Amino acid sequence: MDWIVNPEIWVALLTLTALEIVLGVDNIIFISVLAGKLPKARQARARTIGLLAAMLMRIALLFSLSWLSRLTHPLFTVAGLQVSGRDLILLLGGIFLIGKSTWEIHENLEGSVQAAREKAVASFSGLIVQIMLLDIVFSLDSVITAIGMARHIGVMVAAVVIAVAVMLVAAKPIAEFVDRHPTVKMLALSFLLLIGFSLVVEGLHQHIPKGYIYFAMGFSVFVEMINLRLRKVSEPVQFQRRLQEE
């Protein structure tokens, strides 16, 4: 029980929890976009299962430290580039994320919204499989960060559980907000494109500092919030002008 009075443990737990939440934002966006293709009654269940699957995946990876260490060993070499298991996961995950985001953007831009929704209704099991596949990629990044920051496996697991609990609470309002605002949904899909590109680049051994990516995403969200506020203020004024003209 010495950990209760150990300030180092508590600092590590708080820091890791904050990082897990930040690194889990992209996961929430992806799950929200995919769950939006289901009927309303099943969306909340899909988000919950997706986030719980992400939690179990991260905990399983934390207890597979020896397997994770082997992922960094080169498997083969292509054009002078040594490719490891981790590189393959990042490359395939990034390519899938880029392809999926591009398809979702195309569906939202081409044709009527109603027609797109009628075509895009996905099976529940197929959607959960997609979420779990991407959870592996997102969890790999999160777990490697946790291993580098804490020495106690219990601290890492506790941080993951707390972070997922926070994300479970935040998932519904985030998903509803994205669904209400089409421009925010397009912005979220653009974020997924950016994340997919960064995964591919990372898989090719070209590191992009995460701070740059999150700053770009945060600044884009800030600008979009200003646009939403401006539209909310200007729409009643424009409506009154049209009434006066008529």
Per-residue pLDDT reduced to its tens digit, 30-79: 787 778 777 888 888 888 888 888 788 878 877 776 666 667 788 888 88
Q: How far apart are the first and last CA of the chain?
A: 76
**C-alpha of 41 from chain center:** 22
User: Residue 83: helix, strand or coil by DSSP?
Assistant: strand
pLDDT in tens, 150-196: 567 777 788 888 888 888 888 888 888 877 777 887 887 888 788 88
Runs of H (alpha helix) within 5-151? 7-35, 40-62, 65-71, 85-109, 113-120, 124-149
Number of residues that make up the chain: 246
Q: What's 123's DSSP letter?
A: P
Per-residue confidence band for 116, with pLDDT thresholds at 50, 70 and 90: very low
Q: What is the pTM of this model?
A: 0.68
Q: What is the pLDDT of residue 5?
A: 61
Q: Above pLDDT 70, what percent of the chain? A: 80
* DSSP-assigned letter for residue 63: T
How far, CA to CA in Å, does 169 sit from each of 18, 28, 175, 195? 15, 11, 11, 23
Residue 211 has pLDDT above 50, yes or no: yes
Answer whether 174's CB lies under 8 Å from 164's CB: no
Q: What are phi and psi of 74, to 5 degrees?
A: -60, 135
Over residues 17-25, mean pLDDT: 74
223 pLDDT above the threshold of 80: yes
DSSP code, position 79 = T
Q: Give Cα separations from 155 to 13, 54, 139, 146, 164 (angstroms).
A: 6, 17, 16, 9, 14
Q: Categorise residue 57: left if φ over 0, alpha if ψ from -120 to 50, beta otherwise.
A: alpha
Tokens representing residue 12 in the block: 């590590």
